[in-house]
Each structure stands twice: as structure tokens, then as C-alpha cells.
Structure 1
């Protein structure tokens, strides 16, 4: 960081002018130095200022020496007072604890002005340029320049800080959107885990019932490891262990989600924006120019606590639509509120779905897609997720399709969305 700061200060030093006859000059380097010292609080004031002053001394000597008829030593001596300026500025900056006043703009400008004015006076005294000149003229110039450069430094500092806050806010929003989508997917998976747990419980009960029946029909065979009764009991026990593992997993996910979830609902517009942001990031990672639009202006002031389910529904439908369309595909996503329900639509201009496949697309495991890298078929769970999540909210999913146009529509009753407003 320090080399970059010194380089920026040196470049700013190229902007200069000589207010009086002599070697004394005003530059923008001190405004740049003050800005960076305020912004990067970990930088050593004395060290950075001293190295910057030394570098400026060498830089000015190297630039000036080839074009004047003077010895190298004389050129160094003429520019040496500028090094004194930087040392004086650093000492005053640290002594006045300027960094402690970054939250008070008037005080900050005043303290920086004092540092600048006093340091210029030190340089002028070293150069003996205060003698034989109009003190009023010199001080007027020094004070005006000191205040002007201090204002520039403060503007620069607050601009950098504002930009940093803006970048951090954008980063936070992106992370929040990603977290919401992850939680939505976890919610969908948890739904299926619970459903599987119920099925496992039922299978375990059937296995144990089978064991009881076999043991009743053939008493005494339980002692034989290979008997049907013993095998049925072993199966029931194994299923019971699987059930306990499922229970631990579901409880662990539920605990995570309970911590991550907000107890309050979110406006529909907010999680539509989350889906939109994540979709754009997803599209940017694909080598496939797809145009996608979002319209949720008709959702009103809908607020719901079922946003994870809705995000998961939209995410799956949008992903399917993007995969279905060609390189110049168009996908349109919309949300509408009316008739006591929320209507979500995802339309695309892909090749469409064959009539004989429409009844099959919501079946778990059904898919016509495969990975171009591994050659494996897709799991076919996306639309099954959508159907089950919609039905768990008391809604339904419909699809209409023809070559060049496919529309998935999800109807969700507002009464089941804990809607407000």
C-alpha cells in the first residue's frame, strides 16, 4: 500500500506553480497525501510523509538537473527545504491528532489548514524567502492555498469513504441475495427430507408388522438368523437407524434455518429483486445470451413470510426456462396479485414441450436434459419441487406449451401466504 501512496503523491506533485520568484512552489501533492493518510488509518504518518518528501526531493532533482546550469549538489540543496515541509506537516498532523476529527468536517478542514500553513511557513523560513518580501502578500497566498488544499483533501477523503460504503453495500446486498437463495433451496430440500422421513417411518412399521406376523406364524424361528422372521426384524432395525439419521439431518437443517430466517415477512418486490439479481449472476456465468425480464408491478404491497418457498419456485422455473431456450432466447417473469391469489408466470420462447410429455414433466426423476460434460441425465426434480411446494401452500401449477412459447403459471392463495396489506 505504501508504494502506491508515495506514487500517487508524487504524481500529484507534478501539478504545481511558483507563486513567488524562487524555488518555492505550491503543489497538489499535500492534498493527495492528506487524503490518503486520513483514508488509510493504518499508515504511519511520519514514515509515509518522510518517504514521500524524500522521493519528491529526488524526483524534482532528477527532473530539474538536466535542464539547468548548476551542480547536482546545488540542485539538491535548492529542493531540500521541500523535504522540511513534509517533515513539519507529518509532525503537526500527528501532534494535532487530525485523524480523530474525521467525523467533524469543519474541524478537519481547520486542522489540515493549520498543518499546511505552518509547514509552508517552515519551508519559506528555511529558504529565507520571507525576508525582503511583502509579508502580507506571502501570508495571504499561503493561507488561501492551505485552506484550498485542505478542502480538497477533505472532499477526497469523504468521496473515497462514500465509494467504499457504496461498494460494501453492494457486496452486502449480493451476499444477502445469495444467502436467501441458498436458504430457499434448503427449505425445498427439507420439505423432501421430511416427506422421505414419513415414508421411512411407514416402511419401518410395515417391516415390523411383517416380522410380528412371521413370528406368530412360525414361533421359535426367530432364533435362527436366516429365518424370514429374523430377516424381517433386521430390516426393520436397519430402517429404524436410517430414520434416526434422517431425523438428525432434518433437525440440524431446521436449527440452521430458524437462525437464518427473519420472523417478519418480506415484500414481494424485495424477494423478486433477490431472484432477479441471482438470475443475472447466473446468466453472466453462462456463455449464452439470454434476455430476461421481470415484472412485479402488479403485486401491490403484498408481504409474506413464505418467501423462501416462492423464491425456490421461481428459481427452479427460471432455471428450466433458461436451459430450454436457444442462444437468443427470451424469458419473461411476472408476479400478479388479484382474485384472492398470487399468480407467478415464467414464459420462454423455447421449442416447447411435446403434448405427450406435459403429463410427465412434474413426475420426480423425469427429465430430457443431460450434462454435456458428464453425459448424465438431469435428476428431474426441479419441476417436481415446484409442484410440491405450490401444493404445500394450497396452490397449483399449470403449463401451456406450443413451439416457440411455453408458459408455467403458479397460483398461490393469499390466505396461505400470511399476506398483509
Structure 2
């Protein structure tokens, strides 16, 4: 990084003006130098200033020499005082501890002005250009330029700082949006695991009841490993082990969510924008010309946004996968009349009437991987339906060739912050 800073400052040193008759000049390089020294706190001040002085001396000499009717040594000596300026500037910048005053603008401008004015005076003295000149005129110009360049350096520093804060804020927002999506997926999976655990518990109870019935009907057969009673007991035990595995997984996910999830509510507009941002990133990574629009209206603050994000994510993903060339997808959220209505519509090929009755069934799918040829798990819409119903909502779908519309409706009273949720 240091070589880049030295080169940048040195190049801007070629932009200059002559305030007096002679070799003394004012350049923009000191503005860039001061800005970078303030912004990058770890840059070695004296080392950078010295190197810049050497580079500017080199550039000015090689540019001037081909057009000067004088020997190389003479050209070098004419430009050597500029090195004195940068050395003095670096020493003053460090000696006055200018970086300690970045939070105090007036003091910062004053100290930078002192560094600039004093260094210019050092260069003028080395050049002996004060002889025969009006001291008042020289100092007036030197002070005016010193203060002006100090102001520009401070503006440059705060502009860079503001830009950095803006970039960090954008990065934080992107990470926050990704976290929302990850947790939404985990919550959806947790819901499904809990539902499956309840089903496993029921199957285990039925298996054990079957064992008891068989054992009572044929006492003494339990010692025979291939007897119906022994088989029923083995099945019940196996199911019990599966149930314990499910329990460990659900507890692990719950512990993660208890750390990561904030139960504070989010406004509808905020988490809807998160869905939009993540969807656009997802679509940009596809080689598929799609047009997608998002609209939301109404005021709602809810702590059930993870479930809603998961529902929208699944429906939008399905719409994207179903869309053909020049596909158009519309996503809307309307909060009014005591209800929240989510609508995801696409202009894909549609769903046949026979499939409409099956699409929410767990495991039903018509999609498959073009890479592996394996069918999709068919759990997406099942998740959507279960999550919707867990919040007391309902989901409907209408479809014909060229238009498929999924509509999810919730009562706002079921979404309000701090209201217990079934999920």
C-alpha cells in the first residue's frame, strides 16, 4: 500500500502553479498527502513524506531536463528545495501529532495550515526567494494557500471516512439480510422436525401397543427373536432411537436460534426489503432473463417475520423455477382491514387441475435436478402450508397457462409482537 500512496501523491505533485517569479510552486500533492496520512493512521509519516519528496524531485528533474538549456546537476539543484518542503512537512505533521485532532476540525485545520505554511517558508528560505520580495505579499499568499489546502485535506479526510462508513453500513445490512434468511430457513426446518417428531412419537406408541397386544396373545414368544411380538418390540425400540436423534437435532437448532434470534418486531417494509434484496441477488446469479417487481403497503410490526420470510422465499423460488424465458414475477404484501395478504404471481406455464390438489402434499414434486436427475424433495410448499397454518393463516392457489397466483392471508392479530405463536 505504501508504494501506491507515494506514487499517487508524487503524480499529483505534477499539478502546480508558480505564485512568484522563480522555481517555487504550489501543488495539489500536499492535499492528497495530508488526506491519506489522516485516513490511514498506520502509514509512517516521515517515511512517506521523505519518499514523496524524493519521487517529486525525480519526476520534476526528468521532465524538466530535456527542455532545459542547462546541465542535469543544475536542474536537480533547482528542484532540490522541494524535497526540503516534504521533509519539513513530515517532521511537523508527526511532531505536532496532527492525527490526534481528527475529531476537532478547527484544531485540525490550524495544525495542517501550520505544517503547510512552515514547510513553504522552509522551501522559500532554501531557495533564497524571499530576498528582494515584499514579505507581506509572500506571506499572504503562503498563508492563504496553506489554509486552503488544509481545508481541502480535512474535507477529503471526512469524505473518505463518510464513504467508509457508508460501505460498512451496506455490508452490515447485507449480512443482516443473509442472517434473516438463514434463520428463517432454520425455523422452517425446526417446525418440520417438530412435526415429524410428533408423528414419530405416535408411531412408536402404536408399535409398542402392538407389541403388548401380541405378547398378551402369545405369552412366552418374546424369547423367540423372529416372533411377531419380538419384531414389534424391536421396531418400537428402533423408532425410539430415531426419536432421540430427532430430539437432539431439534434441541441443537433451538439453542442456536435462542442465541441468534431477536424477538423484537420488524416493520413490514424492512423485512420485505430484505426478501427483495436476497431475491435479486439470487436471480442475478441465474442465467435466466426474469423481471420481478415487489410492492408492499400498510403498517405492520411483527416478531413472526422469520416464518413470513420463509413463506415468501419458498413461493418466490418456486415462481423463479417455473418461469420461462422473459418471465415476469410479481410479489405484493398488503396490510389492511385487519389482514396481511401476500401474493406471489408468475406468468409461467401454470399448474394442471390434477396437480393443484396435490402440490401441498409432503413429497409431491414435478421438479428434478438437471445435473443429477434426482427429483426434488417436494417439501417447499408443504413447509409453506404448515407455516401458514401455524400462524392461523390460509393459503390458496389459482393457476392457468400464463398465470399462477399463490395467495397467503393472515389475521393481523395473529402477527402482533409478543402474541404467542404456534410455531
Taking structure 2 as the reference length, what is the TM-score of the superposition? 0.96
What corresponds to 2:125 in structure 1?
Answer: 125
Cα shift readout 1:34-59 (whole Å, capped 9, x = no counterpart): 00011111111111111111111111
**Aligned pair partner of 2:369 in 368, 371, 378:** 371
- Match runs of 1:67-86 below 5 Å: 67-86=67-86
What corresponds to 1:323 in structure 2?
Answer: 321
Shift of 1:342: 1.0
What corresponds to 1:269 in structure 2?
Answer: 269
What corresponds to 1:416 in structure 2?
Answer: 414
**Aligned pair partner of 1:304 in 295, 302, 305:** 302
* Partners of 2:32 and 2:388 in 1: CA distance: 58
Shift of 1:419: 5.6
* Partners of 2:362 and 2:356 in 1: CA distance: 13
* Partners of 1:282 and 1:98 in 2: CA distance: 47
Shift of 1:174: 0.8
What corresponds to 1:351 in structure 2?
Answer: 349
Contact between 2:299 and 2:335, CA under 8 Å: does it hold in 1? no
Shift of 1:198: 0.9
* Partners of 2:141 and 2:336 in 1: CA distance: 70
Shift of 1:85: 0.8
What corresponds to 1:168 in structure 2?
Answer: 168
What corresponds to 1:393 in structure 2?
Answer: 391
User: RMSD across aligned C-alpha pairs, in angstroms?
Assistant: 1.4
- Match runs of 1:224-235 below 5 Å: 224-235=224-235
Contact between 1:370 and 1:378, CA under 8 Å: does it hold in 2? yes
Contact between 1:302 and 1:419, CA under 8 Å: does it hold in 2? no
Q: Secondary structure at the match of 1:199?
A: helix
* Partners of 1:362 and 1:221 in 2: CA distance: 44
Cα shift readout 1:11-47 (whole Å, capped 9, x = no counterpart): 2112101111221111000000000011111111111
* Partners of 1:109 and 1:190 in 2: CA distance: 58
Contact between 2:264 and 2:417, CA under 8 Å: does it hold in 1? no
Q: Secondary structure at the match of 1:362?
A: coil
Q: Which runs of 5+ in 2 are unaligned?
A: 419-423
Q: Which 10-residue stretch deviates more, 236-245 or 19-28? A: 236-245
Contact between 1:343 and 1:411, CA under 8 Å: does it hold in 2? yes
Cα shift readout 1:185-239 (whole Å, capped 9, x = no counterpart): 1110000010111111122222222232333333333334443333333332222
What corresponds to 1:193 in structure 2?
Answer: 193
What corresponds to 2:95 in structure 1?
Answer: 95
